[in-house]
Amino acid sequence: MDGARVIAEALKAQDVEYVFGIVGFPVIEVGMAIQAAGINYIGMRNEQAASYAAGAIGYLTGRPGVCLVVSGPGMLNTISGMANATVNCWPMIVIGGSSDVDQESMGAFQEYPQVESARLCAKYTARASSIGQIPFYIEKAVRMSMYGRPGACYIDISGEMVNKTVPEESIRIMPKVQPPPPMFASPDLVEEAVRLLMSAKKPLIVVGKGAAYARAERNARELVNRYGFPFIPSPMGKGVVEDDHPQCVIAARSRALLQADVIVLLGARLNWILHFGLPPRFNPDVKFIQVDICPEELGNNIGTERLLGVAGDLNSVTKQVQKLIPRDSIIISEGSNTMDIGRTVLLNHSPRHRLDAATFGTMGVGLGFSIAAALLVKDRWPGKRVVCVEGDSAFGFSGMEVETICRYNLPILMIIANNNGIGVGIDAETFREIEVKDRGIDIPATGLMPDARYEKIMEAFGGKGYFVTTPSQLENVLQESQTAYADKPVVINVAVSPQSMRKSQEFGWLTRTESKL
């Protein structure tokens, strides 16, 4: 067996279904071997988008997606995806080709300290020492990515190992890693948590994406339905309990957080999204019941005095979109204002049906996430619709992945809220009045090309594109896209006033703390 086949067979044994990447020296043969083993290889246009797609597979399925990339800059382009997966606690694996061992320190082609570069943003990193050890490293990476707090893992494969052969009988393919064993909370702590919750005058449940990842929707819904507790979801906790549930108080989020006397955190972290659990956003005397798979997360930012920690498994434009997309759509949303508004208006009714910038606030994830979700829809969830709503700036990060979408004929409906800028755009008349020589000075730092026809990119590769300027036009093309083009990639480029989604540059949604210096 050559090294490429060993890699492929080891991935197959671990039940890896999807590998995303861009092949080149020294991993072309690895990509071919992966396909020969019956694993889906999805050739992307940028390694960053490929790594985002692999992470999304990990979140949606619970088993890691894999990203295969070339050496040097190819591997470095996956750093954002690895960091995004690790911060969000999603399992994924990057396999990077690297320069030959016998050329180390000689200035080899694309020689770079790749393992060291991955170490800061991955749970586990390794450089395979021999072909025979490759299955060991892959099994360990799969296990490490899933067990405890999930995250990214990196495996480095030197170039000479890809084509070098070893006797087949010398290779031991490791058995499939089983799902993580359940972690049971102390019965005494559970009883204490129940007593505290039942004594609360103003209880509140906060449903995080950890509850979605844990497939805990049945228990979360039972908790809300049986006892009538009000709840709010985190951005990606949406759908664990339906957004239109009568006990959802997201419309009064700030008031609910401030007035609650006991808050139950179901797979939600007290980070910037929840204002760190601190005043003035929270009652200074509020008690927290924190349920989390990671014991080290318990009490983070608030200490343990006000905490009962239970470590264990949980088990306008926009309104038209919400009205006309199927109820059970998988919604991908990114872009500063587009995502913020979409979190309120675009409702979710099922768990793991929302993907956005999440804890790391990563821009550019939209198309990679959409591709991952659409592959799962084709293979596992027929009939669902993948809807990607993003700003024009967010689309620009990975717009060429439209070609990937068309090449694999993925029926993604993409709606671009095009306001000619990042948050605040520039109108066409103002843009035309600025002399070309002065544009580096006079075009606002947030401004982009006015009236860009992004739908033409989709049309260039055989998909369907629309350009709309009014809500009635949007309603008409949404209906048409759901009937005549339900099985095709579609981009609806929606012209939005550059000032219509203006937002304070102070970013008031972030919690600020006065400097003590």
Residues 82-101 have pLDDT tens digits of 999 999 999 999 999 999 98
pLDDT higher than 50, residue 171: yes
pLDDT higher than 60, residue 507: no
Amino acid at residue number 241? V
Average pLDDT over residues 327-350: 74
pLDDT higher than 80, residue 146: yes
Percent of the chain residues past pLDDT 70, beyond the cut: 92
Average pLDDT over residues 360-367: 84
C-alpha–C-alpha distance, residues 101 and 81, integer Å: 26
C-alpha–C-alpha distance, residues 408 and 513, integer Å: 48
Half-sphere exposure of 471 (CA within 13 A, CB side): 9
The pLDDT of residue 488: 92
| Structure token digits, residue 68 | 């295969």
pLDDT higher than 50, residue 441: yes
Rg (CA), the chain: 24
Average pLDDT over residues 322-336: 75
pLDDT higher than 90, residue 293: no
Tell me the DSSP string of 316-327.
--HHHHHHHS-T
Tell me the DSSP string of 107-155.
T-TT---HHHHHHTT-SEEEE-SSGGGHHHHHHHHHHHHHSSS--EEEE
- Predicted confidence band of residue 424 (pLDDT cuts 50, 70, 90): confident
**3-state SS record for 250-265:** HHHHHHHHHHCCEEEE
Average pLDDT over residues 6-14: 97
Q: How many CB atoms are located within 10 Å of the residue 463 CB?
A: 23
Say whether 330 sits in a helix, a strand or coil: strand
- Predicted confidence band of residue 313 (pLDDT cuts 50, 70, 90): low
pLDDT higher than 90, residue 227: no
Q: How many CB atoms are located within 10 Å of the residue 257 CB?
A: 20
| Structure token digits, residue 18 | 């999807």
Tell me which H or E stretch contains 91.
Answer: none
Residues 24-81 have pLDDT tens digits of 999 999 999 999 999 999 999 999 999 999 999 999 999 999 999 999 999 999 999 9
Average pLDDT over residues 347-376: 86
Average pLDDT over residues 288-303: 84
Model-level pTM?
A: 0.84
pLDDT higher than 80, residue 390: yes
Residues 263-273 have pLDDT tens digits of 999 999 999 89
pLDDT higher than 90, residue 502: no
The pLDDT of residue 23: 94
Task: Please give the residue that has the higher pLDDT: either 502 or 93.
Answer: 93
88, 55 Cβ separation under 8 angstroms: yes
| Structure token digits, residue 411 | 């029926």
209, 292 Cβ separation under 8 angstroms: no
Average pLDDT over residues 173-198: 87
Q: Between β-strands 386-391 and 412-418, what pairing exists: parallel, antiparallel or unpaired?
A: parallel
Q: CA 77: distance to chain centroid?
A: 16
Alpha-carbon torsion angle 32, 36, 42, 48, nearest 10: -50
The pLDDT of residue 325: 66
pLDDT higher than 90, residue 1: yes
Q: How many CB atoms are located within 10 Å of the residue 167 CB?
A: 8
Tell me which H or E stretch contains 477.
Answer: helix 471-483
The pLDDT of residue 340: 66
pLDDT higher than 70, residue 505: no
pLDDT higher than 90, residue 412: yes
The pLDDT of residue 517: 32
pLDDT higher than 60, residue 300: yes
- Predicted confidence band of residue 326 (pLDDT cuts 50, 70, 90): confident
Q: Where are the alpha helices (DSSP H) in 317-438?
A: 318-324, 336-345, 366-379, 392-397, 401-407, 428-433
Residues 442-477 have pLDDT tens digits of 788 788 889 899 999 999 999 999 999 888 888 899
Percent of the chain residues past pLDDT 90, beyond the cut: 58
Say whether 211 sits in a helix, a strand or coil: helix
